[in-house]
Amino acid sequence: MRIGELARRTGTTERALRYYEEQDLLRPARRPSGYREYVETDVRTVRNIRTLLAAGLNTVTIGEVLPCMVTDGEALVPACPELSTVLLQDRERLTEAIDDLQAARRVLDAIIAGAGSPAARRVDACQPA
């Protein structure tokens, strides 16, 4: 099948599919015309890629993890033992990212609170971008 049909059947865009190929997540053959030719199993692969992307994994990690995942109906199941390590490591990365965002919010909250102080009323140059 060509890129248009795969995009339709996976709910993605052609742009995304070309990007996945660029990241070596997909390796469609080429027709003499230069058109990409995808196989049936690519439908499932693309769905798995999207799931992993939604889990916050980057394309490099997905490339390592993808071949070790088996699809059980709707769910993705780890098929290799070494996989849990990689996944747990990524979970920690997400936890750190969450911590950083919460810290940023606390800083912003402090600034917002300052808007109610008397000092804020002394300012004449109030032209917010």
**Nearest partner of 20 among 33, 8, 31, 7, judged by Cα:** 7
Mark the segment that binds DNA (CB under 7 A) among 29-37, 96-104, 109-117, 121-129: 29-37
Site string for DNA, 41-70 (x = CB under 7 A): ------------x-----------------
Any bridge partners for residue 36, and if so which? 30
Asked whether position 2 contacts DNA by CB under 7 A, the answer is yes
Residue 19, amino acid: Y
Residues of span 67-96 touching DNA by CB under 7 A: none
| 4/26 Cα distance (integer angstroms) | 15
End-to-end Cα, the chain, rounded Å: 50
Asked whether position 13 contacts DNA by CB under 7 A, the answer is yes
Kindly tell me which residue out of 10, 26, 36, 42 binds DNA, with binding defined by CB under 7 A: 36
